[in-house]
Amino acid sequence: MEMAFVHKLFSRKSTAGKEQSFQENNLTFAKRNEPYRIVGVHTKDQAMKDFLFTLGCYEGEEITVISILSDNYIIHVKGARYSIDKELARAILI
């Protein structure tokens, strides 16, 4: 029974309810000028994961949304500012 719980807890198979929880904890729901800790990057696109990694967006890093202009997010991570689109912001879990 314990193994089933661990498998269910860490399984990446998404259902509608699990997908909703990912959506509620991504960068698009962050408040401006408030630091958050990145808990992961959730996307099936490996190129997107690699790009976010080059910006310093990976688990454990601190990230702050500076401003939101239309569908672009100005973020501060690892001492630098970047502009990312909403799709990238959705992939960053906080």
Judging by beta carbons within 10 Å of its beta carbon (0-12, 13-18, 19+), is residue 72 exposed, middle or buried? Answer: middle
Q: What per-residue confidence (pLDDT) applies to 16?
A: 47
Domain spanning 26-93: CATH 2.30.30.90: yes
| pLDDT tens readout for residues 12-57 | 444 444 444 455 699 999 999 999 999 999 999 999 999 999 999 9
Q: What is the pTM of this model?
A: 0.74
Q: What per-residue confidence (pLDDT) applies to 67?
A: 97
Q: Where along the chain do its domains lie?
A: 26-93
Q: What is the mean pLDDT of the chain?
A: 84
Q: What per-residue confidence (pLDDT) applies to 5?
A: 47
